[in-house]
Amino acid sequence: MRRKSTVGKNRSLTIGIIVIGTLFLVSGNLLLKMYLSNADGDVNAQQIENHLNRSTAVNGKEFEAKMTLAAIGDILIHDRVYEDAEIADGYDFKPMLKAVKPELLQPEILLANQETILAGTEIGLSSYPSFNSPQEVGDAIIDAGVDIVSTANNHTLDRGERGALASIDYWNKVGLPYVGSFKDTADQQRLRILNQDGIKLAFLSYTYGTNGIPVPVGKDYLVNLIDKEKIKEEVHRARQVADVVVMSIHWGNEYQRFPDNQQQDLAAFMAEEGVDVIFGHHPHVLQPMDWITNSDGRKTFIIYSLGNFLSGQMWDYKDIGGMASIDITKHSANGETTIQLDNPQFYPTFVASKGQRNYRVVPLLEAGKHGLENAEAKYTETVSHVFQFIK
């Protein structure tokens, strides 16, 4: 399985594919010319046919690719978490993700919901209710395999326009794609498309609100607010250029383990308009996965809430989160492309800590070793909770 952990690798992958594709075409032509010039009839027809098949695969006439897409929930950094990460010359959050990093590196593309802005120490770090986190949080999630972050959250404007823009500057500096909060209208209009082995995925992100903080007049690009007409327009635009449309959405009621009617209605709307995968978050606890069957027979995969992935919140399911994943197969033949989604999986995680120190995201199944009582029973309960709609 191909593993990668940075966007840099992502880009080099794409470039690699183009280079290899070109090489195939060039060498295919050369070989074909060689075979044709040797026109005495003793050419291995099978060999040519095989080779041509490979060339046509590159041309897109016959094509099959498979990948795994995954997401983790809220990265919500309270002061007790960043104080725990403090080192001599800054912050280091990498040890907090070390135990789950091998699993996070498995999917080809991993999305995280970066709930708090990463404007860094320059404007002063802060915690609930107006968060601003160290930029080393971003360094750690990139190191752990995150390929893109959603940034439309109720905390996007916690530290105003300045905070939101400083956070975007950080993402641009490190080269990680972000979606949901933008530096200007042109940035907002630019679709985020990741190309994984010829499967093009468009990432979209919206939030229900910004905790009552008004969006500055004329600066709607600072955060995508849920608006059916806007979502519809962007989904349709994304469908023109992408094979798979992925929505990362901030919604629902905090601490509720099941979606409400509003979430279900909006999910059905987005699915019907063309969203293929919906990753929900904000409730801080896990809500189940489901399949939505659309009027054209197409299926949309949804997890209503991914819970917290790394936060300072404890108890009542708030310290249980995980990684949801889905396999995507693209098949093209005779000018027709089909996308198949299957094999939904969930990898439950737990945020272990001791006296508000030593925060570690660990596999829930092994959380007993990190002080969680009845970890195995909680693992079983979590898996059945998440899968209950699709069993």
Q: How far is the CB of 256 from Zn ion (least distance, A)?
A: 13
Q: Are the beta carbons of 197 and 65 closer than 8 angstroms?
A: yes
| Minimum distance from residue 153 beta carbon to Zn ion (Å) | 5
Beta-carbon contacts of residue 119 (< 8 Å; ≥ 6 apart):
132, 133, 135, 159, 162, 163, 164, 166, 167, 170
Nearer to Zn ion, 159 or 282 (CB): 282
How many positions of this chain bind Zn ion (CB under 5 A)?
A: 2
| 133: contact with Zn ion by CB under 5 A | no
Report the nearest approach of Zn ion to the CB of residue 284 (Å): 7
| 349 close to 362: Cβ distance less than 8 angstroms | yes
Closest residue to Zn ion using C-beta atoms: 282
Q: Which is nearer to Zn ion, 73 or 107 (CB)?
A: 73
- The two three-digit tokens of residue 75, written as one number: 């990265």
Q: Which two tokens stand for residue 160?
A: 């105003």
Task: CB nearer to Zn ion: give 207 or 382.
Answer: 207
Burial 193-204 (b: 16+ CB within 10 A, else e): ebbbebbbbbbb
E strand map for 229-366: 244-250, 277-281, 286-293, 299-306, 308-311, 320-333, 336-354, 357-363
DSSP for residue 262: H
Distance CA 190, CA 251 (A): 23
Binder among 4, 78, 159, 282 for Zn ion (CB under 5 A): 282
When the beta carbons of 113 and 135 are compared against Zn ion, the nearer one is 113
Closer Cβ to Zn ion, 134 or 180, answer by number = 180
At its nearest, how many Å lie between Zn ion and the CB of residue 74?
6
- β 192-196/199-207 pair status: antiparallel
Q: Which stretch binds Zn ion (CB under 5 A): 11-19, 214-222, 278-286, 378-386?
A: 278-286
Residues of this chain, 139-158, that bind Zn ion according to CB under 5 A: 154
CB of 209 to Zn ion, least distance (A): 9
User: With respect to Zn ion, which residue has the nearer C-beta, 68 or 210?
Assistant: 210
Q: How far apart are CA 391 and CA 388, in angstroms?
A: 6
Question: Minimal distance in Å, beta carbon 215 to Zn ion?
Answer: 16
Residues that bind Zn ion (CB under 5 A): 154, 282
